[in-house]
Structure 1
Amino acid sequence: MRSKLFVPGSRPELFDKAFRSDADALSFDLEDSVSPDRKTEARQVLQALLSAEAPRASGKTLIARVNPCQSAHFAADVLAVVRPGLALLNLPKVESAEEVLAAAAALDAAEAANGVAEPVGLLLNIESARGLRLAHALAAAHPRVAGLQLGLGDLFEPLQIDRHDPATVHAVMLQLRLAAGEAGVFAYDAAYARFQDVDGFRAEAGEARRLGFLGKSCIHPSQVAHANDIFRPSDEEIARAQRVVAAADQAQARGVGAYTVDGEMVDAPFVLRARATLATARRLGLGQGPT
């Protein structure tokens, strides 16, 4: 899921274009991009879309962002969008484990009501100081939680923090990534609102990738290609991963725990990363190699 393209639920004229895009995932939105007077309409539109066969056959990861747990729209949103083929329910503005448990219970009910056999995961948006402080507890609150996603606009703007200060963004990214890592879930990067600022988007996405994020949110189709490029393992990374795994296999045969690859001492954590790189490469059709 290198790229995740936001699609407003109230804009069905954009749906076909989104499915034709190169985005790995589509996130259909019922929250911020839908005005209060169109919530019901958007919910009905998304229910019809996600009940159809074509979205499931698209090969894309399907995500729906619902309104917050405290919202009057939440229960109806979940019941409408939880359909076969939905991979993740994106829960915004999460600040307590109780909200996570409530969302998990709502998913249980919606899956039973709608005949969904494959469990839908939770992607939690971390968009407040409290949410960031409690990020690990939120991620660990229920087995349905698959990942944490940053929402830097909601996090920074009320606190008058510069959204585009690289040092500040890096600090928050690292904090979220470590919380996600402790809980054993993925971390996903925030959207970048300046969609015409290609250099800024690529710089922030590159930072996220260096910190081990899974991919980056895109608010405009023009950002998708850049996210896919940056979160793609390079040929050099794939080749090194192949060398690390091959050396690990040889070392295991000799009963050696630590060894060198390309002049660097390597042991088990490096092998885990190398195998993950090769798995990603195979999934993207970028070549084969040792597993």
Structure 2
Amino acid sequence: MRSKLFVPGDRPALFAKAMAGAADVLSFDLEDAVAASAKAEARTQVAAFLGDAPHRVAGKQVIVRVNAWHSPLWEDDLRAVLALDVDLINLPKIESAEQVRQAVAEIEAIEARLHTRHAPGLLVNIETPRALRHAAAIASAHPRIRGLQLGLGDLFEPHGIRRSALQNVHAAQYALRMAAAEAGVFAYDAAFPGLDDEAGFRTEAESARALGYVGKSCVHPRQVAWANAVFAPTQDEIEAARHIVDAARDGVYAVDGRMVDAPFLARARAVVALADGNRA
């Protein structure tokens, strides 16, 4: 999940192109990227495109970002999305564990009415100060939660927090990453608004990668290559990880002069799996 490309739900001309692109994950957006007047049409277009599950043929993971659980669009979005074979539903505007549990109860009620056989996981946006403060509880609120996604625009802009100051970005990234780690779910980095600012994108992405984030959201296809490059393990990292995994098979717990125990081995195996998956 190195790169996740947002695809506006009201732009069907972009759907097939995005599916054929280099992003690991496509996030079809029914929320912020769609004007209020186009919400219903966007929902119809996304459902029609994903109905034949083209992502299973293309080898993509697919997420659909629905409108907020308390909005009048929520139930219609769920009825359309839960009938599809998608990997994750992205929940925006969540601020507490109780809201997660309410949302899941409504999701499961609709699934029961639809007699669905597929139960997608949940990716929860953390995009307000309150949500960040409660992030660990939110991430632990239900087993269907797979990850937390940082939303820096909504988190910073209304409060005058300067995003160009990397220490501000790092503080938010660190807080969310620790919450995700406590709950045992993945952390995903925020979208970056600068479409031509490769250096700025990479700076944020490299900070996230150093904290153990699995990837970064992209709002334009050109950003996908930047995310894929930053979050791909380097050859040195791959070779070191293979060395640890190979040594562990022989019961060796000191590799190249360093102690290797269970956490190091688990990380090495994850790096090897990612490298092998990227090469496949």
TM-score by length of 2: 0.95
Displacement of 1:116 after TM fit? 3.4
2:270 paired with 1:279? no
Match of 2:227 in 1: 227
Do the aligned partners of residues 55 and 247 (structure 1) sit closer, same or farther apart at CA in structure 2, a change above 3 Å counting? closer
Match of 2:34 in 1: 34
Superposed CA deviations along residues 175-204 of structure 1, whole A, max 9, x for unmatched, are: 100100000100000000001000111111
Match of 2:203 in 1: 203
**Please, which moves more after superposition, 174-183 or 93-102?**
93-102
TM-score by length of 1: 0.92
Q: In structure 1, what is the Cα distance between the partners aligned to 2:97 and 2:32?
A: 22
Match of 1:256 in 2: none
Q: In structure 1, what is the Cα distance between the partners aligned to 2:86 and 2:175?
A: 29
**Please, which moves more after superposition, 3-12 or 97-106?**
97-106
1:50 partner letter: L
**Please, which moves more after superposition, 176-185 or 82-91?**
82-91
Q: In structure 2, what is the Cα distance between the partners aligned to 1:56 and 1:82?
A: 16
Is the contact made by 2:136 and 2:179 (CA closer than 8 Å) also made in structure 1? yes
Match of 2:131 in 1: 131
Is the contact made by 1:205 and 1:216 (CA closer than 8 Å) also made in structure 2? yes
Q: Secondary structure at 1:251's aligned position in 2?
A: coil
Displacement of 1:170 after TM fit? 0.7
Q: Secondary structure at 2:31's aligned position in 1?
A: coil
Match of 1:17 in 2: 17
1:211 partner letter: L
Runs of 4+ in structure 1 displaced over 3 angstroms? 109-116
Q: What is the total number of aligned residue pairs between the two structures?
A: 280
Match of 2:87 in 1: 87
| Aligned partner (choices 248, 251, 257) of residue 263 of structure 1 | 257
Is the contact made by 1:9 and 1:42 (CA closer than 8 Å) also made in structure 2? yes
Displacement of 1:81 after TM fit? 1.4
2:107 paired with 1:107? yes
Q: In structure 2, what is the Cα distance between the partners aligned to 1:110 and 1:243?
A: 48
Q: Secondary structure at 1:27's aligned position in 2?
A: strand
Q: Secondary structure at 2:116's aligned position in 1?
A: coil
Displacement of 1:115 after TM fit? 4.8
CA RMSD of aligned residues (A): 1.5
Displacement of 1:114 after TM fit? 4.3
**Please, which moves more after superposition, 54-63 or 132-141?**
54-63
2:278 partner letter: L
Q: In structure 2, what is the Cα distance between the partners aligned to 1:247 and 1:217?
A: 36
Do the aligned partners of residues 113 and 164 (structure 1) sit closer, same or farther apart at CA in structure 2, a change above 3 Å counting? farther
Q: In structure 2, what is the Cα distance between the partners aligned to 1:106 and 1:9?
A: 23
Is the contact made by 1:63 and 1:86 (CA closer than 8 Å) also made in structure 2? yes
Superposed CA deviations along residues 42-92 of structure 1, whole A, max 9, x for unmatched, are: 111112122224243221111000111111101111111123420000001
Within-5 A mapping of 1:57-206: 57-206=57-206
Displacement of 1:36 after TM fit? 1.0
Is the contact made by 1:25 and 1:61 (CA closer than 8 Å) also made in structure 2? yes
Displacement of 1:25 after TM fit? 0.6
**Structure 2: gaps spanning 5 or more residues:** none
**Please, which moves more after superposition, 121-130 or 203-212?**
203-212
Is the contact made by 2:89 and 2:121 (CA closer than 8 Å) also made in structure 1? yes
2:86 partner letter: L
Is the contact made by 1:107 and 1:120 (CA closer than 8 Å) also made in structure 2? no
Q: In structure 2, what is the Cα distance between the partners aligned to 1:196 and 1:245?
A: 40
Displacement of 1:18 after TM fit? 0.7
Is the contact made by 2:148 and 2:187 (CA closer than 8 Å) also made in structure 1? yes
Q: In structure 2, what is the Cα distance between the partners aligned to 1:69 and 1:19?
A: 27
Match of 1:236 in 2: 236
